[in-house]
């Protein structure tokens, strides 16, 4: 008898990206997302080694992270993320940075029951564009203050 692992489906991942500047993106549908990566960047353990070789481990609190969204360059999600970045930049240029890192993203995988809750999200930069014979993907890097995976 063969053994089979669990079934995977990207469309089982659903969620929303909500910004105080009026941009809401619900994903899980036909938005052109090719990959969504949740990366925690806080290293919770740091070891200090003394001259005599004694190790002192330290716990570092925090849940900083980065959300990476790879999408088609003609996708709806890219257009919405670009509009979000431009609204935030316009406000910041007018001395209003109150919403710069005030965006929230919540995602849930219905098959695995996994939750990803991110807050304090801000755009890192406008993604790089590549023009070739065939359409390409664009990568958005979104640093966040808190990224909790459950």
Residue 97 has pLDDT above 90, yes or no: yes
Residue 21 has pLDDT above 90, yes or no: no
A 10 A CB-CB count for 86 gives 14
**What is the rounded distance in angstroms from the CA atom of residue 13 to the CA atom of residue 36?**
10
- Residue 147: what pLDDT? 98
Rounded to 5°, the CA angle 89-95-96 comes to 70
**What is the rounded distance in angstroms from the CA atom of residue 115 to the CA atom of residue 107?**
6
pLDDT over 90, % of the chain = 71
Q: Is residue 65 classed as helix, strand or coil in its secondary structure?
A: strand
Rounded to 5°, the CA angle 35-80-125 comes to 70
Residue 55 has pLDDT above 80, yes or no: yes
Question: Which long-range contacts (C-beta less than 8 Å, at least 24 apart) are formed by 4-9?
Answer: 6/111, 6/112, 7/111, 8/111, 9/111
70 compared with 32, residue with greater pLDDT: 70
> pLDDT band for position 9 (50/70/90)?
confident
**What is the rounded distance in angstroms from the CA atom of residue 25 to the CA atom of residue 71?**
14
Q: Which of 87, 44, 62, 24 is nearest to 143 (CA)?
A: 62
The mean pLDDT value for 73-94 works out to 93
> pLDDT band for position 31 (50/70/90)?
confident
């Amino acid at each position: 008898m063969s053994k089979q692992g669990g079934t995977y489906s990207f469309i089982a991942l659903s969620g929303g990206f909500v910004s105080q500047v009026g941009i809401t993106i619900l994903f899980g549908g036909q938005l052109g997302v090719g990959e969504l990566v949740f990366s925690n960047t806080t290293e919770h353990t740091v070891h200090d080694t003394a001259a005599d070789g004694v190790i002192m481990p330290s716990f570092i609190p925090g849940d900083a992270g980065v959300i990476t969204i790879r999408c088609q360059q003609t996708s709806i999600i890219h257009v919405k993320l670009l509009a979000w970045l431009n609204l935030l930049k316009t406000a910041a240029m007018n001395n209003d940075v109150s919403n710069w890192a005030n965006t929230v993203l919540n995602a849930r995988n219905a098959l695995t029951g996994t939750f990803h809750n991110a807050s304090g999200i801000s755009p890192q930069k406008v993604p790089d564009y590549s023009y070739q014979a065939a359409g390409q993907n664009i990568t958005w890097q979104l640093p966040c203050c808190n990224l909790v995976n459950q």
